[in-house]
């Protein structure tokens, strides 16, 4: 039964429907595989008992003809989504032992559709990072290895555990969150696809907040279609999140396989950054050729403020984070330092509870929001954010989607870029602009570099037009014929 874990979600749903296997069997196969893949450290908390209980209930529902859209499908849930009575840590020491009394809207929608939770996936602490190395629970290891070295590689971040678990067949799909690239970059590093929908498409209720004006939930899966299946269930207006949009959820699955003849694909010239590895420009060129061959029209586009996106993001995201993280004071959630004096207790709780990257962001954020600097940094960044957004608006007068690389490199070794935060932040150069503009973006694996490591292409769409993004991604998937990770991919 071991190849049950290699099925796509779509095929697993078919198999469950035609009684080829039960959800209990499918879930047990994943639990066994998780046991054999412990070294990846993809999960912070595994929930095998809960998973088997959910699987059994799913099989009973199916027997009664009451199966939901994802009934019996085992998933990993990023440990940033609050899950009722199951420890939710955001990969931080400060939240160790925190068991929410409520379920995030996104995870409850998945469970209402019958999905099974295998566990809570590892991530960078409070989703701050691009390599999953800031987690208090240890780094995640990418299942991929370079053909030329045996070094452990990062899975990307912050949703590294989600991406690694799907790539390594220890989850059929996973939830992620993307504030500046945390779904798209790990998807690219792990050779799978992942979509961050339009800001407001999925509810943020019950998702531990990092930067509220940027945070957006999304999906990981091994095929574009599986992403569409998951996203269809997760999306929708939620009165509990004032930034979730009152928009009907289109049938993302039905949007696939459509024709892209005449579709205008924009190529932003500012994404040809200095020092971009040759293989990435080549792959981008290949992507352009594929879409042309499928009938798309290629249009040169300019997004003139792209250059300012990273500095803008690294002001706005820490500013919002410093405010959001003020709530961790040892009184309401998780850990509390043992101090008699109240102020000392707050200070020591935070000093012991937060890791270095989180502290760095709180300090940057507090600085840019402080009197005297607020106008010079925070307000200025908000103005530049508007200009970046306007760039996209203008571009979409000339094209329907944009095609770019997802990340400026393939997966790097664990420990690399670690002593230079700026170098680490540069990883987000292609993903951050769409986040600032709230646009949907998807990464799809399209090829490999000289070491045999996966590289992704990114499709960025108009607001609320995930359908076109998914359709283009699927075209690339069909044409690229990318080979997913397998134990032999070395």
Does residue 182 touch ligand GLN according to CB under 6 A? yes
**Nearest by Cα to 482 from 193, 148, 56, 142:** 193
Between residues 131 and 349, which has the closer beta carbon with respect to ligand GLN?
131
Q: Which stretch binds ligand GLN (CB under 6 A): 86-94, 178-186, 445-453, 471-479?
A: 178-186
Does residue 127 touch ligand GLN according to CB under 6 A? yes
Does residue 130 touch ligand GLN according to CB under 6 A? yes
Identify residues 306-345 at the interface with ligand GLN (CB under 6 A).
317
Smallest gap, in angstroms, from Cβ of residue 425 to ligand GLN? 7
DSSP H helical ranges for 251-379: 278-293, 309-324, 342-353, 356-369
Smallest gap, in angstroms, from Cβ of residue 194 to ligand GLN? 11
Tokens of residue 336, six digits: 């509390």
Between residues 16 and 217, which has the closer beta carbon with respect to ligand GLN?
217
DSSP H helical ranges for 22-149: 23-36, 48-63, 105-112
Q: Which stretch binds ligand GLN (CB under 6 A): 27-35, 176-184, 290-298, 328-336?
A: 176-184
Q: What are the beta bridge partners of residue 405? A: 457
Smallest gap, in angstroms, from Cβ of residue 196 to ligand GLN? 8
- Which helix (H) or strand (E) segment is 175 a member of? strand 173-178
Q: Give the active site residue among 104, 131, 146, 158.
A: 158
Does residue 128 touch ligand GLN according to CB under 6 A? yes
User: Applying CB under 6 A, what is the total number of residues that bind ligand GLN?
Assistant: 13
Give 273: exposed, middle or buried? Use CB within 10 Å, 0-12, 13-18, 19+.
middle
Does residue 7 touch ligand GLN according to CB under 6 A? no
Angstrom distance (rounded) from CA 61 to CA 152: 42
Smallest gap, in angstroms, from Cβ of residue 115 to ligand GLN? 23
| Residue at token pair 């008699």 | 340
Between residues 158 and 404, which has the closer beta carbon with respect to ligand GLN?
158
Identify residues 393-452 at the interface with ligand GLN (CB under 6 A).
428
Q: Which stretch binds ligand GLN (CB under 6 A): 66-74, 175-183, 239-247, 446-454?
A: 175-183
Does residue 194 touch ligand GLN according to CB under 6 A? no
Q: Give the active site residue among 182, 193, 322, 435.
A: 182
92 is catalytic: no
- Which helix (H) or strand (E) segment is 54 a member of? helix 48-63
Angstrom distance (rounded) from CA 266 to CA 301: 6
Q: Where are the strands (E) in 6-162, listed by range?
A: 43-46, 74-78, 116-121
182 is catalytic: yes
Q: Which residues touch 254 (CB under 8 Å, ≥6 apart)?
A: none
Angstrom distance (rounded) from CA 67 to CA 22: 12
Q: Which stretch binds ligand GLN (CB under 6 A): 17-25, 32-40, 162-170, 179-187?
A: 179-187
Smallest gap, in angstroms, from Cβ of residue 98 to ligand GLN? 19
Q: Which residues touch 487 (CB under 8 Å, ≥6 apart)?
A: none
What does 336-351 look like in DSSP terms, one character per residue? Answer: ----SSHHHHHHHHHH
Q: Which stretch binds ligand GLN (CB under 6 A): 22-30, 56-64, 127-135, 409-417?
A: 127-135
User: Hey, what's the torsion of the CAs at 69, 73, 74, 77, to 10 degrees?
Assistant: -20
> What is the SS3 assignment for 128?
coil
Does residue 176 touch ligand GLN according to CB under 6 A? no
Radius of gyration for the alpha carbons in the chain, expressed in angstroms and rounded: 21
Q: Tell me, residue by residue from 201 to 230, as one string, x for binding to ligand GLN by CB under 6 A and - for no binding.
A: ---------x--------------------
158 is catalytic: yes
Q: Which of 59, 79, 178, 400 binds ligand GLN (CB under 6 A)?
A: 178
Question: Given the rule CB under 6 A, which residues bind ligand GLN?
Answer: 127-130, 158, 178-182, 210, 317, 428
Query: Annotated active-site positions, please?
Result: 78, 158, 182
């Amino acid at each position: 039964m071991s190849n049950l874990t290699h099925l796509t979600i779509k095929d697993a749903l078919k198999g469950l429907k035609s009684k080829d296997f039960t959800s209990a069997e499918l879930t047990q196969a994943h639990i066994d595989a998780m046991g054999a893949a412990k070294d990846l450290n993809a999960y912070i908390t595994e929930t095998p008992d809960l998973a088997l209980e959910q699987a059994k209930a799913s099989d009973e529902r199916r027997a009664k003809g009451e199966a939901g859209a994802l009934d019996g499908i085992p998933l990993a849930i990023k440990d940033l989504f609050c899950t009722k009575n199951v420890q939710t840590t955001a990969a931080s020491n400060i939240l160790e032992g925190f068991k929410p009394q409520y379920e995030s809207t996104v995870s409850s929608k998945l469970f209402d559709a019958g999905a099974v939770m295998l566990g809570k996936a590892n991530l960078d602490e409070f989703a701050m990072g691009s390599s999953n190395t800031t987690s208090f629970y240890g780094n995640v290891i990418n299942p991929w290895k370079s053909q030329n070295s045996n070094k452990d590689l990062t899975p990307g971040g912050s949703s590294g555990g989600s991406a690694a678990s799907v790539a390594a067949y220890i989850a059929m799909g996973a939830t992620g969150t993307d504030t500046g690239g945390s779904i798209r970059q790990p998807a690219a590093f792990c050779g799978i696809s992942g979509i961050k929908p339009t800001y407001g498409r999925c509810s943020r209720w019950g998702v531990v907040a990092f930067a509220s004006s940027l945070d957006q939930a999304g999906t990981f899966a091994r095929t574009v279609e599986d992403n569409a299946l998951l996203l269809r269930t997760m999306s929708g207006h939620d009165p509990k999140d004032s930034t979730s949009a009152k928009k009907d959820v289109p049938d993302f699955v039905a949007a696939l396989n459509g024709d892209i003849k005449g579709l205008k694909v924009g190529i932003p010239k500012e994404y040809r950054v200095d020092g971009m590895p040759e293989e990435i420009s080549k792959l981008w060129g290949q992507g352009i050729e594929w879409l042309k061959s499928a009938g798309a029209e290629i249009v040169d586009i300019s997004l003139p403020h792209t250059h300012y996106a990273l500095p803008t993001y690294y002001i706005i995201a820490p500013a919002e984070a410093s405010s959001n993280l003020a709530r961790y004071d040892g009184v309401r959630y998780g850990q509390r330092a043992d101090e008699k004096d109240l102020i000392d207790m707050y200070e020591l709780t935070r000093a012991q509870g937060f890791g270095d990257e989180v502290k760095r962001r709180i300090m940057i954020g507090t600085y840019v929001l402080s009197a005297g600097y607020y106008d010079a940094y925070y307000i200025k960044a908000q103005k530049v954010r508007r200009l970046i957004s306007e760039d996209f608006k203008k571009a979409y007068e000339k094209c329907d989607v944009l095609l770019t690389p997802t990340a400026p490199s393939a997966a790097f070794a664990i420990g690399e870029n670690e002593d230079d935060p700026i170098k680490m932040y540069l990883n987000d150069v292609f993903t951050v602009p769409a986040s600032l503009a709230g646009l949907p973006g998807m990464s799809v694996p399209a090829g490999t570099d000289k070491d045999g490591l996966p590289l992704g292409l990114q499709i960025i769409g108009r607001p609320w037009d995930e359908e076109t993004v998914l359709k283009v991604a699927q075209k690339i998937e069909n044409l690229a014929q990318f080979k997913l990770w397998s134990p032999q991919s070395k």
